[in-house]
């Protein structure tokens, strides 16, 4: 797999956040507000899973122990192994 890197982008003034493909050194502008957004976090690829759900933000949750974003359909955190609560 060789996908473009996803970043969590934030507009400093409003705090609005978005997930976007971004290249370091380029500017990402919020389509709705026109604000310039800066990358605040790199979103790492998830461990392989049987799920075919797209890794969109609504299909992710943060592990309560290690705070990594993981798929909501994953039963054990691929990073720290913590058993996830049922949905
Ligand atoms: Zn974890």
Distance separating alpha carbons of residues 31 and 54, to the nearest angstrom: 22
Q: How many CB atoms lie within 10 A of CB 67?
A: 11
Q: How far is the CA of 87 from the centre of ligand 1 (A)?
A: 16
Q: How far is the CA of 37 from the centre of ligand 1 (A)?
A: 28
Phi, psi of 53 (to 5 degrees): -60, 135
Residue-wise pLDDT for 24-50, tens only, equals 677 788 888 888 888 888 777 666 665
Distance separating alpha carbons of residues 77 and 62, to the nearest angstrom: 9
Q: Are 68 and 53 in contact (CB under 8 A)?
A: no
pLDDT value, residue 79 = 92
Q: How far is the CA of 33 from the centre of ligand 1 (A)?
A: 34
Residue 2: pLDDT band by 50, 70, 90 thresholds?
Answer: very low
Q: Are 30 and 18 in contact (CB under 8 A)?
A: yes
pTM of the model: 0.42
Q: How far is the CA of 11 from the centre of ligand 1 (A)?
A: 28
């Amino acid at each position: 797999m060789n996908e473009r890197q996803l970043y969590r982008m934030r507009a400093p003034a409003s705090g609005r956040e978005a997930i976007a493909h971004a290249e370091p050194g380029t500017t990402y502008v919020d389509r709705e507000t026109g604000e310039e957004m800066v990358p605040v976090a790199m979103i790492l690829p998830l461990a392989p899973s049987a799920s075919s759900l797209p890794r969109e933000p609504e299909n992710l949750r943060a592990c309560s122990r290690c705070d990594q974003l993981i798929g909501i359909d994953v039963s054990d955190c691929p990073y720290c192994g913590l058993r996830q609560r049922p949905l």
